[in-house]
Amino acid sequence: MTEKITFNIDKEKNFSEWYSEILDKAEITDLRYNVKGFVVIRPLGAEIIEQIYKMWEAELKAKGHKPCIFPAIIPEKNFKKESSHVEGFSPEVFWLEEIGEGKMALRPTSETAFYQLYSLWIRSYRDLPLKLYQRANVFRLETKATRPLIRAREFFWIESHDAFSSKEQAEAQVQEDISITENLMHQKLGIPFLPLKRPFWDKFHGAEYTIGSDVLMPDGKVIQQPSTHLLHQEFAKSFDIKFKDDKGKENYVWQTCYGPAMSRILASLIAIHGDNSGLVIPFCISPVQVIIVPIYKTENKDKVIKKAEEIKKELEKEKITAEIDNSEKKPGEKFYHWEMRGIPLRIEIGEKELKGKPTLFLRDTKERIKVNLKDIPKEGEKLDQRLREKSEKNFKTSMEDCKNREEIKKALENKKIAKCNFCSIEKEGEKCAETIEKELGAFVRGTRHDKKEKASGKCIICNKQAKEVIYIAKSY
């Protein structure tokens, strides 16, 4: 008899408690580090984050980016060079005690670090485009309630900082950034998103415009995933980043920056794919893609273990990461442990499987099937496809067309994103956005960047002629 072990929190009914328990039970994080907003990421969480890092870095390199490493401290005088940037970020900055070189900050983002050097590295059009990225942990003095991996005072990301000779090239880079997010976060990891042009009052400090990727979580709140920014030329002018064109004329560069946060992507992955038995990790990034569980009695233990080891070697030849659970736990305990940790495929080897096909357990559907070992990679691909299709189906039903405030309120209560006509996402629409925030506790997230949506009728708040179709949601 196997011991039956269950996880008794319903994700749909109580996402907040479910999420906290999953982080603990699946050993993703430990919250007992005694500084608010800072968490310890345990081995499984760190291994998943590393896989996401590798995926993004490979894509960035394929698109012509080069890696670099910048210091984590930024001089205050760098921040002050670009006025809107310092004004926007100063409240969130961790300032260090003044040292010999003056006041220093732990980086909240690295524009003012990179661009100090770009002014030295860029001299001619031959130096462009310059496309660099770094892995980094960044620090924000978050005053709102913190949430592990979702909203914290430290998070882990990649930031790319690119410089071009023309605005057209810079805008093409913005499009490329969005396509990277689509290819990796949506197509590979199965996390659908809305690419939204942020309103004037919510764009990145120092940008002409910002495109954010909003993912809807099971509690009806959106989380911003990778965002990309077309920077205005005040950065180039403030840091004196100029180049001579092929005719010898001096010009200022155009710049973009892009920031996928690995820790936040992990949060969405947990929330979107997890179920009431724990995590469900996509096969393509799982640190362990196949867990092999030998099931034996004393008299056949050696034969079953030997078979498990043979299977592991065969899988590794196919570049599949596999482990054998040879612990003294009962089979039921082993199954619970690996299901909680989200390992996508489980091979069960008992007396029946010694001569026949292995039994394969699919983590997402919880089916058991008989397979040939050579078909394991295909089963992993099919699992990832099912995860993506399921999340897409849920996402398509998560947006509600709304014609008045009451309909917006109802949509938000039903954990949906509200779509409606609005006066403007430029400065003149800010008062209407403030009304939405005050009355409904939600935010104007922006307009679709991936397609043109034509507004009709009046603004849902001020009753002026609508110019935009906007999306409204609660957020973290």
| CATH number of the domain encompassing residue 153 | 3.30.930.10
Please check whether residues 415 and 297 belong to one and the same domain: no
On whether residue 296 sits in a domain, the answer given is yes
Q: Which residues pair with 292 in a beta bridge?
A: 324, 347
Predicted TM-score (pTM) of this structure = 0.94
Question: Looking at the structure, do residues 266 and 298 belong to the same domain, yes or no?
Answer: no
Domain boundary among 345, 379, 413: 379
Number of domains the chain is built from: 3
Task: Mark whether 405 and 361 lie in a shared domain.
Answer: no
Indicate whether 372 and 244 sit together in one domain.
no
Evaluate if residue 86 carries a pLDDT over 90: no
Q: Determine the pLDDT at residue 383.
A: 98
Give the pLDDT of residue 298: 78
Domain identity same for 235 and 308: no
Name the average pLDDT for the chain: 94
**Is there a domain that residue 278 lies in?**
no
Classify 364 in phi/psi space as left (phi over 0), alpha (psi -120 to 50) or beta.
alpha
* Domain contains 281: no
- Considering the domain boundaries, does residue 468 fall inside one? yes
Predicted pLDDT at 252: 98
Per-residue pLDDT reduced to its tens digit, 186-242: 999 999 999 999 999 999 989 999 999 999 999 999 999 999 999 999 999 999 999
Domain boundary among 224, 239, 273: 273
Same domain for 120 and 52? yes
**Assigned domain for 7 exists:** no
Are 57 and 197 part of one and the same domain? Answer: yes
- Residue with tokens 């994700």, as numbered in its chain: 11
Residues 224, 296 within the same domain: no
In this structure, is residue 186 part of a structural domain? yes
Most confident of the ranges 96-105, 106-115, 138-147, 381-390? 381-390
Q: Which residues contact 312 (CB under 8 A, 6 or more apart)?
A: 292, 322, 323, 324
Residues 337 and 199 placed together within one structural domain of the fold: no
471 and 325 within one domain: no
> Looking at the domain assignment, is residue 8 inside a domain?
no
Q: Which tens digits make up the pLDDT trace of 269-305?
A: 999 999 999 999 999 999 999 999 999 887 888 999 9
- Residue 282 is assigned to a structural domain of this protein: no
Q: Are 18 and 25 in contact (CB under 8 A)?
A: no
What one-letter code names the amino acid at 15? F
Joined tokens for residue 455: 């507004």
Residue-range definition of the domain harbouring residue 455? 399-475
